[in-house]
Structures are given as structure tokens and as C-alpha cells.
């Protein structure tokens, strides 16, 4: 490949990246672009493919969590829309009233409404 063709392609790639990354980066330097291209040329340094990322996301979404035994960090990391403070509320409720008898009972916890409950229904186990 001719050197002029390489620089033309680099210029096109740089302008495309600049348009895509403009909100995050003021300018895309050629040296940064060359570094990125060098890294991308080494297969062992490539990021996982989109398919692998989707499979990982799907596997994470299908893992269930036992709301009667999980700690706050596990609840916060496993349930959609549940942060650490809400997870701590779940544990306080569980300690006050005993183990959950149904998934719907989670709706009695302060700050957990029907929408959050519906998003997590398939992820929650009681045993």
C-alpha cells in the first residue's frame, strides 16, 4: 500500500473519530490514532467481540439472587434499579420481618415500587 494512501486513510479515520468522540475529546491526535491502530493490530490486545459482550451481559442478567440470604453488595450488583442503600433496606426489612415468603413481599420494602419489582421478578429466588 502506498504511503499516501495510508495517510489519506488515517486522515479519514481521524475525522470520523473526531466526529464520534467530539463530546468527549477536543481533538484526536494522529499519534493517539496510530497508537490505537497499533494496539488493534495485535489480536491478543483486542477487546472482546460484540457477540462475546452480549453473551456476557445475557449471562449476567440471567443469574438469580436469593433475597433471603444475599448480602447488600450482592443485592445491589444483581438487581436492576437497586443500589446499595436500597439493598440495605431489603436486609433491614428481612431482619425485622423474617425471610420473604413471596417475591411480591419485596414491594413492601421502602423505596421498591411495582416497576422495580417487575424488572427483577425473574432474577429473584426465595430459596
Q: Give the residue extent of every domain in the chain.
A: 1-41, 59-125
pLDDT tens digits for 44-67? Answer: 444 455 555 555 555 555 689 999
pTM value surpassing 0.85? no
- What b-and-e string marks burial along 58-91, b requiring 16 or more CB atoms within 10 Å of the CB? eeeeeeebebeebebeebbbbbeebeeebbebbe
**Phi, psi values for residue 104, rounded to 5°:** -60, -25
pLDDT at residue 42 above 80? no
Residue 70 has pLDDT above 50, yes or no: yes
Tell me the average pLDDT of the chain: 76
Q: Residue 37 pLDDT > 70, yes or no?
A: no
CATH homologous superfamily of 59-125: Photosystem II 12 kDa extrinsic protein (1.10.150.320)
What confidence category does residue 101 fall into, taking pLDDT thresholds of 50, 70 and 90? Answer: very high
Would you state the pLDDT for residue 46?
47
Amino acid at each position: 500500500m502506498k504511503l499516501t494512501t495510508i495517510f489519506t486513510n488515517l486522515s479519514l479515520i481521524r475525522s470520523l473519530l473526531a466526529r464520534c468522540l467530539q463530546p468527549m475529546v477536543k481533538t484526536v491526535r494522529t499519534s493517539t490514532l496510530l497508537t490505537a491502530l497499533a494496539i488493534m493490530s495485535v489480536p491478543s490486545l483486542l477487546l472482546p467481540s460484540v457477540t462475546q459482550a452480549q453473551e456476557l451481559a445475557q449471562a449476567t442478567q440471567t443469574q438469580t439472587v436469593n433475597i433471603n440470604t444475599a448480602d447488600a453488595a450482592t443485592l445491589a450488583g444483581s438487581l436492576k434499579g437497586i443500589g446499595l442503600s436500597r439493598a440495605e433496606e431489603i436486609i433491614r426489612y428481612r431482619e425485622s420481618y423474617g425471610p420473604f415468603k413471596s417475591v411480591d413481599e419485596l414491594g413492601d420494602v421502602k423505596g421498591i415500587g411495582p416497576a422495580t419489582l417487575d424488572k427483577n421478578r425473574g432474577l429473584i429466588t426465595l430459596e
